[in-house]
Amino acid sequence: MSDTKQGPVAPMPSLDAMLPPQMALKAESVGVAKAEMGWRNTLALAVLAGAFISLGAVFATVVTAGATDYLSFGVTKLLGGLVFSLGLILVIIAGAELFTGNNLIVMAWADGQVSTWRLLRNWGLVYLGNFAGSLATVFLMLATRQYEFGGGLIGLNALTIAAGKTDLGFMQAVALGIMCNALVCLAVWLCLSARTVTDKILAIIFPITAFVAAGFEHSIANMYFIPMGLLIKATAPDSFWQAISRTGADYPNLTWPNFFLVNLLPVTLGNIIGGSLLVGLVYWFVYIRKRAR
């Protein structure tokens, strides 16, 4: 018999969730990597994220179309939030750059690992890419004429969602944006503790379902919801309006200026405050500041 020499056995990877101090260090390293990524890859991944979030919005629009005729308001919102989670699941697991999630780069910025220029460069590129991906999805969905399905119920729901978002007051939209991205960034933060795909999906579902069900405002999702309503209003054939017993005049506040000034601007400001200040800088203060000092 010959002796067989065995090399050192590699340790089994841990399946235990990371603890918050480890999560903070991981968030910092991820932020540095995102800030240093080349502009082409950043922009391409941002376009994907805009499309992914739009797919979640499409899913939510379909599932909640006509639902209030049979279900309570709360249950309808719950279902919409649950299926909307698809968007962030795709962003996190498939890999993409989402403006609202990238607000957590402030943790690396506050620690001096990322310059202000790199931070703003990332946010600017990702925001533009998200907008491009969302609009591309809007035009593609418009070409499908899917909004006419169900006797026009899907289109009616899209118009109702978009009109409701352009009816908000400025400070109301800021506050709704703050609450939204606090939950979105908490979902991303929880994903940093995950070891498996299943962990990540479970970490995403509840915070995202909560923000949608509560009616909070997400700037990137609104890049799909509101333009979709605007373009249905502008291009839908007479047969669609007859089917839903409405006209474009029933949505007077659904305009492009209101999209940018009444919704997108204040919601974006709110998202930055909610994600950067209420989540990113708080966790930096607790877990990274002392280590750096």
Q: Write out pLDDT tens, residues 188-244.
A: 999 999 999 999 999 999 999 999 999 999 999 999 999 999 999 999 999 999 999
Does 14 have pLDDT greater than 80? no
Residue 222's pLDDT is what? Answer: 98
Q: Write out pLDDT tens, residues 28-69.
A: 999 999 999 999 999 999 999 999 999 999 999 999 999 988
Question: Looking at the domain 20-292, which fold is it?
Answer: Glycerol uptake facilitator protein (1.20.1080)
By C-alpha distance, which of 161, 159, 104, 113 is closest to 283?
Answer: 104
The model's pTM is 0.94
Residue 42's pLDDT is what? Answer: 98
Percent of the chain with pLDDT strictly greater than 90: 91
At 70, is the secondary structure helix, strand, or coil? coil
What one-letter code names the amino acid at 148? E
What one-letter code names the amino acid at 13? P
Q: Write out pLDDT tens, residues 164-192.
A: 999 999 999 999 999 999 999 999 999 99
Does 118 have pLDDT greater than 50? yes
- Domain positions in the chain: 20-292
